[in-house]
Structure 1
Amino acid sequence: MSGDRILTEEEKAAEQRRGPAAAQRGGPPHMRVGQPGEKSANFVPSAKRLLGLMRPERLALYAVLAFAVASVALNAIGPKILGRATDLIFAGVVGKQLPAEGTVAQIAAGLRARGQDTFADMIEGMPHLVPGVGIDFGAVGRVLLLVIGLYVVASLLQWAMGWILTGAVNRTIFNLRRDVEDKLNRLPLPYFDQQPRGELLSRVTNDIDNVSQSLQQTLSQMLTSLLTVIAMVTMMLYISPLLALIALVTIPITMVVTAMIGKRSQKHFVQQWKSTGELNGIVEETFTGHQLVKVFGRQEEVRESFRTKNDDLFAAGFGAQFVSGIIMPTMMFIGNLNYVIVAVVGGLRVANGSMTLGDVQAFIQYSRQFTQPLTQVASMANLLQSGVASAERVFEVLDAPEQLAEVEAPTVLADPHGRVEFEDVSFSYDPEKPLIEHLDLTVEPGQMVAIVGPTGAGKTTLVNLIMRFYELDSGRITLDGVDITDLSRHNLRGEIGMVLQDTWLFGGTIRENIAYGRPGASDEDVIEAAKATYVDRFVHSLPDGYDTKLDDEGGNISAGEKQLLTIARAFLSDPALLILDEATSSVDTRTEKLVQDAMSALRQDRTSFVIAHRLSTIRDADLILVMENGRIVEQGSHAELLAAGGAFADLYAAQFRSAVAEPVD
């Protein structure tokens, strides 16, 4: 495939590591209070940068803030107005029992004369009381309609706020994903060498999704919750400072109790996540090596390991959920105690006329609504920490050093012939460990150059330098006399085709997989490439021919057929320079012959570099380079190198020497 990257032997040997799977952190907000969220390294700067991403949406955010303030304000004054309806009803009930003759003051004076001071104080504190008149249902109806109107408007404002915020957050995340995608295309290959694929994939998918969820929930809920707390405290202080003091005393008590329970649940959650990771590891290993488990008869041992870890997970999960589940009942208990105290004190104040019954009712509503936002803020704190931590991981990708910029006016190879020249080239992955030093090499157009040597000798590095996957420390490489740094990377790699040892196919038809080598190729071009590389032979045996669907691993065709498809793809790209990694090491002898014939057809009139492990496949090479420790220690034809009796002869003899068993006396 044109433009693919060749992995070094060191990378092929390195195991791609994935982090252990974390347990799901679901459940209602109160169940997540006390769970140790993933912490950010630099919370404040990262949070500012994250919010800075929404700067283009500042007008939308101003609208969200205005709607939130208006909605919370309307919800806050609702109970106070609703308390007026209660006062009207209570005043009507009491007023109906009083004589119509006389004023409230006169009736109160008469009550005091008879020793009913408390009742007198109460009716004097009722502003809507009219002696002898019952409930004014008209006035009550008007109050209720007003309250309903307020709540309807508040709900519409909340809906508008959510709609605007959802759009703003999703546009921000859209831009973030676009920036990350653009950044990945500008990163050099060494960055990807140092990043496990699963880790990088998690950053650009899971972490961005977590940032989106955190922004969506925290910006709306935390803003609304904080404004609600301020509004509730303001209204409680306005109605009764004494009752407000009683209600606010429960806040530190709630925080202390929640922190104590959260501290106890934290160790259980840590153990739960650890046990989940261990259990997932056992399951993954068992299914990955399912055949080996059966071959060696270790099913019972695997089942026992699974049972043990499953029991550990059950115990940890039960402890975590039970302990954290105590938080909500405890908070409800404290809230109920607060409710009882407020009700008793409020009743006494109604009795002595210092408060109306409607005000007490409104205050109780405020005190009940006051604790819920606090719980939401506590639960959102963990979510915000997790979101900022994910944002930091995404920012690390965005801040990574980029590859060298292209030249402003790159040279264009209109008719490349494939002459490659290394001029005093030096390169190393680690400055302290030199690899290739002062390499000179000239490859003429149409030559087949085989590169052999032990693992780690620098064979793959050599062709990676031609592709400009890595930048040279010194010297230069030219293609048809043009320094490859004077070419655009797109132009350079567009003239190079590759067939790798590890085949890569994507989910699609056989036709689409071959056509990937040259955008815009016609069906006739695809079929011609397939015939030249022996793909056409097996395609006709498939039910749908060239329209046969392949999965992303190409699992519904054989390894040799997958290899032939990649050769056809490279053939279609019609490159001037061909790079072949040992493409027959994992196929049978008959398929190997087909692959060799296909590659021979592909190499016609093209300069080709062949990284060889099977030395029998490079007998026809025009030039064989023997590399050791980044240096070319020998070069020549197959016959010349064997006759020389040097490093190549030793490699050849080691590969084809027959083991002779000594007779035992």
Structure 2
Amino acid sequence: MKPPVLQVYRRLLTYSRPYARRIVVAMLASLGVAATDVGVAKLVQPLVDEVLVRRELWLVNLVPLIVIGLALLKGLSRYVQEYFIKTAGQLVVQDLRNDLYRHCLRQSLGFYSQTPAGALVSRVVNDVGMLQKSAADELVAMVREGLTLVGLVGLLFYNDWRLALVAFVVLPVALVPASHIGRRIKKYVHKSLSNMGNLTGILHEAFSGIKVVKAFTGEETERRKFEDENLRYYQRLVKVIRYDSATAPLVELLASFGAAGVLWYGIHRVMNGAISQGELFSFVTAMGMMYGPMKRLIKTNNVIQKAVGAAERVFEMLDQAPGLVDAPDALTLAPVRGQVCFERVWFAYQGEDWVLRDFSLVVPPGRVVALVGASGAGKSTLIALLARFYAPQRGRILIDGCDIAGLTQTSLRAQMALVDQETFLFHDSLRNNIRYGRPQATDAEVEEAARQAYADEFIRQLPEGYDTPIGDRGVRLSGGQRQRVCIARAILRDAPILLLDEATSALDSESEAVVQQALVNLMRGRTTFVIAHRLSTIRHADEILLLEDGQLLERGRHDQLLAARGAYHRLYSLQFHDQVAP
């Protein structure tokens, strides 16, 4: 293996250290397997010379006992080895998956905006799964087959060093193509796993958006997309299979040259009286058994190359530093009053123009601030920066006078509750979905939050009430019901700062009226940032901010902004032209 491959494999083996005892037991058991193989080859000589040639009949009765005894020792050793190494391998894979998943969860939202969810799922499931054998299984296989090979080689040289040299002419010749095959396998495994990530991404998108797929009769498009990518995956994988399948025939062909030379030279030595028939049979048996471990070692190298190809992708993900990390001396934010201050904040997404430009704002505790403006004005970005999903390129954001860049992200977000336009619910019970923001909440607190969110009535009408599973993304609920469950979740969190991003945008008028009343309950006593395209929902905000191209264009109460007859007045007139005086 080349140095980079050794480095990857060495890093992979660090995950095996906690389970070293299991691996050591498996290695010791592999000694029993190797010893029985060498013993079988060695016992051929006395079997031929003493039993068959000299007719020592008393030894005949020992033959069955020896055969059964060796089989029992080998079987027991093999069982111990397989059990301990496979359990160690599963534990290693479990740890690696946990680390990879934990690392993905630490990534910023920017990472998820650039990485398809399907590709992440594929790395956590498929790539790590391919590593299972390399982590421990193949390590013990290398030890077992290596010991067997060393033992048989020693026996060959012990029996007849001249014949051994003839047998070993083929060994260095076989290593050259085997090394080339291993490198090709690693290359194509790396590429095929990339295709598998694309496949998983297509599946994830199609199943998540199945309503859109069916509504726009996109089944045929999705089918072709999947089948084309599946074909590309096969074309990559078939190259791995081609090289892997060539290994055994190639070694056997090369081994036949060595075997032919040994038989030709060995028969001549028997006929010349240099060695006995038993010695030749013992030598040929050991040589035949030697090529088995050699083939398996080359096969093991192929498996390791597959694993290294997968490991490179896994470690590539693990080495990708999160876009946002807590400062080394980050402070834990204590419960806050809720004063929010933006100081000359500038922000742009990667490779794009400024979304916020020199933005400044002070919001006293308990105030309700509404953000309005055209799409792309920077409203959602403002909320994302406050929650520190992203960090501004310039300027500061402070909560109760503390710069959020110097706070731990966990303690910062513990002071906030978010109700988003994407009403995401987990495939779980309603009770657990509401409790998500505060896992330690009691059932009574969960139900009280649902009452305040006007969700208790419809929840109790469901077959299992609060314990009703709601399907993937809450598919069994209506839009208004999902929104009220999300509001109940935010009420239960009881955070001093509330972020509402288009919380009623997808609702009909009747549902909006109920949800709006639930939001009134939620906003009471909290510093609240509300984003709304429907201006009717923000008339009673303490202050309305109109953003345009990332800058604060107008601010004031609803009546004040209408009276000013500026941009807000024009925007309001477009929605309620029959209610606004000319």
Q: TM-score, normalized by length of structure 1?
A: 0.73
Query: Which residue of structure 2 aligns with residue 90 of structure 1?
Result: 52
Compared with structure 1, are the counterparts of its residues 258 and 505 closer, same or farther at alpha carbon in structure 2 (3 Å cutoff)?
same
CA contact (8 A) 1:211 1:390 kept: yes
Query: Which residue of structure 2 aligns with residue 560 of structure 1?
Result: 480
Query: Which residue of structure 2 aligns with residue 24 of structure 1?
Result: none
Tell me the amino acid that sits aligned with residue 127 of structure 2. Answer: D
CA contact (8 A) 2:189 2:306 kept: no
Per-residue deviation at 1:499?
0.6
Q: 1:412 aligns with which of 334, 351, 368?
A: 334
CA contact (8 A) 1:505 1:554 kept: yes
| Cα deviation code 1:369-390 (max 9, x no counterpart) | 2233233223322322232343
| Cα deviation code 1:102-134 (max 9, x no counterpart) | xxxxxxxxxxxxxxxxxxxxxxxxxxxxxxxxx
SS in 2 for 1:354: coil
Query: Which residue of structure 2 aligns with residue 450 of structure 1?
Result: 370
Tell me the amino acid that sits aligned with residue 45 of structure 2. Answer: G
Per-residue deviation at 1:609?
0.5
2:356 pairs with 1:436: yes
CA–CA separation in structure 2 for the residues paired with 1:411 and 1:269: 47
Per-residue deviation at 1:610?
0.7
Q: 2:6 aligns with which of 21, 32, 44?
A: 44
Tell me the amino acid that sits aligned with residue 384 of structure 2. Answer: N
Compared with structure 1, are the counterparts of its residues 474 and 269 closer, same or farther at alpha carbon in structure 2 (3 Å cutoff)?
closer
The count of corresponding residues between Structure 1 and Structure 2 is: 576
SS in 2 for 1:578: strand
Structure ID, larger Rg: 1
CA–CA separation in structure 2 for the residues paired with 1:186 and 1:288: 23
Per-residue deviation at 1:616?
3.2
Tell me the amino acid that sits aligned with residue 404 of structure 1. Answer: D
SS in 2 for 1:353: coil
Per-residue deviation at 1:501?
0.9
SS in 2 for 1:610: strand
| Cα deviation code 1:317-365 (max 9, x no counterpart) | 9998689756655655665665565445434433332222222222222
Compared with structure 1, are the counterparts of its residues 205 and 541 closer, same or farther at alpha carbon in structure 2 (3 Å cutoff)?
same
CA–CA separation in structure 1 for the residues paired with 2:552 and 2:379: 10
Per-residue deviation at 1:409?
6.0
CA–CA separation in structure 2 for the residues paired with 1:304 and 1:394: 29
Aligned-pair identity (%): 35
CA contact (8 A) 1:84 1:143 kept: no
Query: Which residue of structure 1 aligns with residue 542 of structure 2?
Result: 622
SS in 2 for 1:42: helix
CA–CA separation in structure 2 for the residues paired with 1:233 and 1:586: 76
CA–CA separation in structure 2 for the residues paired with 1:492 and 1:588: 34
CA contact (8 A) 2:131 2:307 kept: yes
Compared with structure 1, are the counterparts of its residues 269 and 486 closer, same or farther at alpha carbon in structure 2 (3 Å cutoff)?
closer
Per-residue deviation at 1:449?
0.8
CA–CA separation in structure 1 for the residues paired with 2:452 and 2:512: 16
CA–CA separation in structure 2 for the residues paired with 1:227 and 1:585: 70
2:430 pairs with 1:500: no
1 or 2 for the larger relative contact order (CA 8 Å, sep ≥6)? 1
Compared with structure 1, are the counterparts of its residues 463 and 543 closer, same or farther at alpha carbon in structure 2 (3 Å cutoff)?
same
CA–CA separation in structure 1 for the residues paired with 2:381 and 2:310: 34
2:305 pairs with 1:385: yes
Tell me the amino acid that sits aligned with residue 568 of structure 2. Answer: F
CA–CA separation in structure 1 for the residues paired with 2:231 and 2:561: 64
| Cα deviation code 1:56-85 (max 9, x no counterpart) | 555665565555456424422331123211
CA–CA separation in structure 1 for the residues paired with 2:493 and 2:362: 24
CA–CA separation in structure 2 for the residues paired with 1:176 and 1:359: 51
CA contact (8 A) 2:46 2:278 kept: yes
Query: Which residue of structure 1 aligns with residue 433 of structure 2?
Result: 513
CA–CA separation in structure 2 for the residues paired with 1:45 and 1:261: 20
Q: 2:388 aligns with which of 451, 468, 489?
A: 468
**What RMSD over aligned residues (CA atoms) do the two structures have, in Å?**
4.4
Q: Which stretch has the larger CA shift, 370-379 or 175-184?
A: 175-184
Query: Which residue of structure 1 aligns with residue 163 of structure 2?
Result: 243
2:531 pairs with 1:569: no
Compared with structure 1, are the counterparts of its residues 656 and 256 closer, same or farther at alpha carbon in structure 2 (3 Å cutoff)?
farther
2:447 pairs with 1:527: yes
Q: Which stretch has the larger CA shift, 383-392 or 160-169?
A: 160-169
2:280 pairs with 1:360: yes
CA–CA separation in structure 1 for the residues paired with 2:524 and 2:426: 28
CA–CA separation in structure 2 for the residues paired with 1:387 and 1:81: 38
2:532 pairs with 1:612: yes
Compared with structure 1, are the counterparts of its residues 303 and 396 closer, same or farther at alpha carbon in structure 2 (3 Å cutoff)?
closer
Tell me the amino acid that sits aligned with residue 218 of structure 1. Answer: E
| Cα deviation code 1:32-67 (max 9, x no counterpart) | xxxxxxx99932322232234444555665565555
Compared with structure 1, are the counterparts of its residues 555 and 41 closer, same or farther at alpha carbon in structure 2 (3 Å cutoff)?
farther
CA–CA separation in structure 1 for the residues paired with 2:412 and 2:356: 22
Compared with structure 1, are the counterparts of its residues 366 and 208 closer, same or farther at alpha carbon in structure 2 (3 Å cutoff)?
same
Structure 1 unaligned spans of 5+: 1-38, 93-134, 659-665
CA contact (8 A) 1:407 1:488 kept: no
Q: Which stretch has the larger CA shift, 482-491 or 259-268?
A: 259-268
CA contact (8 A) 1:411 1:488 kept: yes
